[in-house]
Amino acid sequence: MDNIKVRNPVTGQIAGSVHPASISDLTLAVSNARRAQQKWSRQSFRERAAIIAAFHDRVIDQAPLILDTIQMETGKTRRDSLAEVVSVAGTARYYLAHGEAILTSRHKHGAVPFITSSELAHRPHGVVGLITPWNYPFLLSIADALPALLAGNAVVLKPSELTPLSAILGRSLLVDSGLNPDLFAIVHGDGEVGGQLIRHVDYIGFTGGSATGRKVAMAAAERLLPCSLELGGKNPMVVLKGASLKNAALGLLAGAYSNAGQTCISVERVYVESSIFDEFSQIVAARTRKLKLGWSPSWGLDMGSLIHSAHADKVMGHIENAIQNGAVVLAGARRRNDLGPAFVEPTILTHVSLRAAISTEETFGPVVSLYPVESENEAVVVANDSVYGLNASVWARNSDDAMQVARQIDAGSVAINSTLMIYNAFDVPMGGIKQSGIGRRHGEHGILRYTRDQSIVTSFSTAGGYDSMLTKIGSAKRAESLLRVLKLWRRVPGIR
């Protein structure tokens, strides 16, 4: 098979190449990972953590190389590349600090107080398979692998064939930090390789589009394989009267145009109370028009390229369809072939039909639609009127008002006075509802998903133990006595 060439989406230059995995390559990688995992799982958490700690420091030290690699295969800006490094390091620090406590076995209430006991333990699945996308190639491949490794698993990763170089670099840094190379394997190829991976591993984690996520879920279901799926989003932002319009506008720009809008939690639709709609629209449009586009290793650019020209075609198709159906352009809406084949200007639209494709389908590009609403209640209704439920943003006069709205929004996460912060709030879970997926990363959920719960219950042994207790009930009188005890039991504090 011919090597897969990785091209810079801006210049078209070849950034590198990888060899596509055959079935035998994949089965060998999983076999080696399974063998290495048996020893790895018997090591203490602190022994595993020492390697991840060394990796954390190495990532910081090697940041310029990581940034170069990310930029070369994605076309994103230096700042957006830095965001990946920051989040990978943050993920490592969080699980180094909290992972051992989360994974430690816990004593639970027994069936009968004082004479029985229970314990909840967390065992690694074995070999974890990860299928990761192109939009955050270093972050989504490495940050998802770290808790899996700390939990005692081996990892076999299939990164996007468009952006495999960042994952390769991340694995190299882990190996240089002391990780057994067999514990983290990478297999390259298209969706067919991903399908084969699902047939061989003990758990599958997928990040990507909802359509592909359904296929992953169906393939996992055939094997009754546990899985987590972080899928698409059409994330709303709500701006209420009394909010600082300048601050909300700056938050919107960060939340909509980071990584050229190619972010699963980015803002694509904004609902603004009508009394402030015109002023807010003007502020956002003016600031959007001042954003600097381009691709270079400098730090002065605000937005980079989309991943390839076909994706830019899709984004422009959404914009043009909206305009044909009455949308008004306040900023952007132009292809910038002078900068590269996949550049689309950051775009602000108004007067967009709520049923237009750009209002209901994930665009995954630098496009924001603004909609006036008459009240806070209407904002909540239209924000929830979506098949997606990944992330949302609320800006209000004070935190109490914002919290009241946040609690009514159907999304896995809601940010107040923020848009993208959920990805770095490591102590709480991140994930979606509805067609935005199942499962969570971050927090205790983010490491426990890579384990299987094992309950260990202990009974007294005398006269056959707990299981023989009911066999001693030989009359109605004894049964009535037992039932009276049960009725009193509910009223005894602490042992219910």
CA distance 50 to 48: 5
Q: For residue 493, tell me if it sits in a domain.
A: no
Give pTM, 2 decimals: 0.96
Residues 144 and 85 in one domain: yes
Residues 163 and 41 in one domain: yes
Q: Which residues pair with 451 in a beta bridge?
A: 124
DSSP per residue over 408-455, as a string?
A: TS-SSEEEES-SSGGGG-TTS-B--EETTEE--BSHHHHHHTTEEEEE
Low-confidence ranges of the chain (pLDDT < 50): none
The whole-number pLDDT of residue 343 equals: 98
Count of domains for the chain:
2
Please pick, among 73, 230, 345, 362, the residue that the annotation labels catalytic: 230
Residues 102 and 226 in one domain: yes
CA distance 333 to 355: 20
- Those residues whose C-beta lies under 8 Å from the C-beta of residue 473, and which sit 6 or more positions away, are 479, 482
Residues 311 and 223 in one domain: no
Nearest 5°: the CA angle 439, 123, 496 is 80
The whole-number pLDDT of residue 393 equals: 98
Please pick, among 73, 84, 161, 264, the residue that the annotation labels catalytic: 264
The whole-number pLDDT of residue 492 equals: 86
The whole-number pLDDT of residue 494 equals: 76
Q: For residue 370, tell me if it sits in a domain.
A: yes
DSSP strand pairing (451-459 vs 267-273): unpaired
Name which of 400, 296, 290 is nearest 340 in CA terms: 296
Q: For residue 438, tell me if it sits in a domain.
A: no
Q: What is the CATH number of the domain that holds 317?
A: 3.40.309.10
252: containing domain: 235-427
Q: Does the annotation mark 230 as catalytic?
A: yes
Q: In what order do the strands lie in the sheet with 116-124?
A: 106-108, 116-124, 451-459
Q: For residue 491, tell me if it sits in a domain.
A: no
The whole-number pLDDT of residue 114 equals: 86
Q: For residue 87, tell me if it sits in a domain.
A: yes
Nearest 5°: the CA angle 112, 115, 118 is 70
Residues 278 and 399 in one domain: yes
Q: What is the CATH number of the domain that holds 95?
A: 3.40.605.10
User: What size, in residues, is the chain?
Assistant: 496
Residues 74 and 215 in one domain: yes
Residues 208 and 242 in one domain: no
- Those residues whose C-beta lies under 8 Å from the C-beta of residue 294, and which sit 6 or more positions away, are 301, 304, 339
